[in-house]
């Protein structure tokens, strides 16, 4: 599917801006040196946005009764309400245009999960909080692919996040058109094997959702479909599921390949399944055979190219 400019939200410190409490930054090399070649970023520092200076005293989440404050360690300077309000504003006015968001881990404003919440006395904490700004972005945009900078160091999580960003962008482009059952079915057809690799049951269920639909409320149908698709893609695909998908794709070439070529492809898939080679190896062979033996249906499969190959994300999984 044709891509237009992809916009991703990012914590400004991860973009290299010196907005942290100590006047420093936490630049993400992957985001700014690699992914930035293919997307545009909208930068947000909620703490600066609500008026906190640079540099500034550290702040943390503190539970006072049923209220979570975001304040200095001595309990003063609570900016929790302001962070929440700013998060709602961005979530409703700007985040709806984004195709993904990268948050700064461990931040009391931007962290996605496991944020420390201290007791009022400051003598203990639990790691069950969510940054107040991040919470609003995710709550108001539940389908938006979101990730933290630290988790992006994991190759499987990195690949999965980027794949979901490009998938969600393609969906946003589709939704700019009039929604019809035919367009939804065409979209699903392109994602058949990517979906199969992640969640075979969801692949069957979403196909059934479209194939048995009776009615004319295509907006509601579209909402149900994308909710199911994004949920199914949320976790990295396993080697087993990828291997089964590769075997399905291999079947399209059984009448065209020589005995030696068939064995070479089977060996590549088996080696991938056994963890001896990355996914890139059997996929490269399949792409080669697709060029030699064109198949219009397979050529449209997002599974082959879910994002730019220059990112080299399948070299490590």
Q: Are 233 and 142 in a shared domain?
A: no
Q: Are 199 and 310 in a shared domain?
A: yes
Q: Are 253 and 298 in a shared domain?
A: yes
169 located within any domain: no
pLDDT, average across residues 89-110: 97
37 located within any domain: yes
Task: Provide the domain count of the chain.
Answer: 2
Q: Are 37 and 132 in a shared domain?
A: yes
pLDDT (tens digit, 9 = 90+) per residue, 108-161?
A: 999 999 999 999 988 889 999 999 999 999 999 999 999 999 999 999 999 999
Q: Are 113 and 233 in a shared domain?
A: no
pLDDT (tens digit, 9 = 90+) per residue, 285-307?
A: 999 999 999 999 999 999 999 99
DSSP annotation of 179: P
pLDDT at 256 over 90: yes
160 located within any domain: no
Which pLDDT band holds residue 2 (cuts at 50, 70, 90)? very low
Q: CA distances (Å), 28 to each of 10, 11, 46, 85, 151, in order?
A: 10, 10, 18, 27, 11
Q: CA distances (Å), 305 to each of 1, 27, 40, 293, 308, in order?
A: 10, 28, 20, 18, 7
Task: Tell me which residue range forms the domain holding 287.
Answer: 179-317
Q: What is the pTM for the complete model shown?
A: 0.95
Which pLDDT band holds residue 261 (cuts at 50, 70, 90)? very high
pLDDT at 263: 97
Contact 132, 87 (CB under 8 A): yes
Q: Are 133 and 210 in a shared domain?
A: no
Contact 203, 188 (CB under 8 A): no
pLDDT, average across residues 246-263: 96
164 located within any domain: no
Please state, in angstroms and rounded to a whole number, the distance separating the CA atoms of residues 219 and 174.
Answer: 12
pLDDT (tens digit, 9 = 90+) per residue, 203-217?
A: 999 999 999 999 999
């Amino acid at each position: 599917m044709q891509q237009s400019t992809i916009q991703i939200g990012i914590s400004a410190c991860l973009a290299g801006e010196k907005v942290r409490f100590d006047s420093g930054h936490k630049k993400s090399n992957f985001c700014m040196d690699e992914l930035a070649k293919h997307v545009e970023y909208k930068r947000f520092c909620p703490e600066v946005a609500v008026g906190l200076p640079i540099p500034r005293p550290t702040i943390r989440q503190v539970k006072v009764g049923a209220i979570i404050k975001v304040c200095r360690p001595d309990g003063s300077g609570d900016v929790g309400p302001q962070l929440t309000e700013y998060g709602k504003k961005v979530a409703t006015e700007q985040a709806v245009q984004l195709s993904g968001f990268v948050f700064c881990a461990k931040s009391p404003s931007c962290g996605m999960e496991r944020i420390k919440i201290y007791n009022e006395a400051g003598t203990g904490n639990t790691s069950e909080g969510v940054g107040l700004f991040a919470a609003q972005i995710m709550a108001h945009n539940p389908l938006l692919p979101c990730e933290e900078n630290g988790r992006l160091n994991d190759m499987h999580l990195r690949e999965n996040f980027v794949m979901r960003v490009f998938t969600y962008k393609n969906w946003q482009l589709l939704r700019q058109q009039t929604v019809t059952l035919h367009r939804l079915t065409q979209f699903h057809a392109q994602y058949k094997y990517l979906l199969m690799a992640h969640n075979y049951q969801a692949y069957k269920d979403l196909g059934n959702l479209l194939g048995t639909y009776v009615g004319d409320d295509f907006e509601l149908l579209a909402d149900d479909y994308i909710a199911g698709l994004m949920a199914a893609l949320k976790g990295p695909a396993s080697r087993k599921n990828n291997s089964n998908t590769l075997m399905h794709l291999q079947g399209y070439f059984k009448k065209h390949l020589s005995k030696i070529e068939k064995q070479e492809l089977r060996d590549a898939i088996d080696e991938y399944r056994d963890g001896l080679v990355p996914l890139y190896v059997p996929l490269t062979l399949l792409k080669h055979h697709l060029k030699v033996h064109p198949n219009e249906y397979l050529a449209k499969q997002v599974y082959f190219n879910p994002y730019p190959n220059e990112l080299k994300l399948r070299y490590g999984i």
